[in-house]
A and B are shown apart, each in its own frame.
Chain A
Amino acid sequence: MGIIKKIKRNFALTFKRIFKRGKIRRIGIYGPPNAGKTTLANRIVRDFTGDAIGSVSDIPHETRRAHRREGVTITSNGSAITLDIVDTPGLATKIDFQDFMAKGLSEDESRRRAKEATEGVIEAVRWLDDLEGIILVMDATEDPFTQVNVTVIGNMEARKLPLLIAANKIDLEESAPSHIKSAFPQHPMVPISALTGDNIDLLYEQIAEHFG
């Protein structure tokens, strides 16, 4: 494509974005297994609709299908934004059924969970193409340089879509959200506890600012 054509196309895209401002955006909640994605999705949906989106568990890959909640209106500091929230299964590059057995599940149950988890990861990857922004949930007690985080961030950067990092589990003493900030300084990051609600209002402010 020629340079003039590309410039024309980019102007067209910019105008399109301006006129799409009133549209409801579809936002995905992504992250590795057990980062607290569903806990956060439940908190957001509960705070603004009084409902929940999915079940949570200490065993990884509890969420094995994506769940979408449409038309969640988030209000913060007098402004409001309506989003479709998609809670996605944890992304991973490996799934070993023996890890589930180590958590106390039977072999049959572990094999079934592993199979469903692989399908869930595929579903989460495919959802990436249908979203207009992402909240990437990272466990602030873990090393942030995981391939899953790098891949999700890379995909959003390549498509120039907004990304907000939620550094979760700050209620735990060993959490270090500053490690996440220094690992990915180019993106906004909010330290939160989806479980206790610490800093959750700050997250809502950032959601309104970045996805509005």
Chain B
Amino acid sequence: MTALVWSAKPYEPPTPNDFNLPPVGGDAHSATFDFLGESFYSGVTKPMLQLVLAAILVFGFFFLASRKRLMVPSKLQYVGEEAYGFVRNSMGRDIIGSHDFQRFVPYLFALFFFVFLNNFFATIPFLQFPTMSRAGMVYSLALLSWLVYNGVGVAKHGFLGYLKLQSVPAGVSGPILGLLIPLEFLSNILVRPVTLALRLFCNMFAGHLLLILFALGGQHLVTELGGAYVGVGILAWVMFIAVAILEVLIQFLQAYVFVLLNAMYIAGALADEH
């Protein structure tokens, strides 16, 4: 058995570099460029194509579902209406409030299905790569939501009024304000978009890394080590399937939390003075 172990290829654990895919049609030796001390491939990569595919699929599905609006809905129209109603009621109306939620429903609705489909690409065969496990994708979404919630807040309260709303907590007076105002400003204006982006990114990244680990580790145990290790390798593959099913739940939950927090930030920016 020891001889078997020594003759096997050394095991290479998966690393964050496994997420740096070469461009479509290229290989690992394609041209790269350096940005902030990291090396990236220049060219069109799979996550970029998945972004476009997700946008086309979301638009196409809801265009078809809402094309013929009948009093007695067809099956497709029913599914589309249920999906729309879910975002509109549970994230728009219940969080932002019935007074002015309606102008944010298109943004929240498009964002939810775009993010969910991009996460779900991790499970679809042949694609099997979560777009949001590339940090740049989530940074741009978080920047968009930062602009939206700060924009509506400034538009409603004015610049100074909005800063006061976000950084002066209600019902506090005296010297403790000197401690709380910088903290609230840091938390509400600067840290929010970062945690919003990193929450989605880290969940997709860690989940996919776990799947790679189970798949490659099981493969190494079965094909390279053999013998008694085959049973452990098959157990790793069973765990792969279990974790893949858990991942579908997490993909939905993270899209839900991402859009729910967007709605909460908008609701907080629109709130009246206490």
A and B bound?
A: no
A residues adjacent to B (C-beta < 8 A):
none
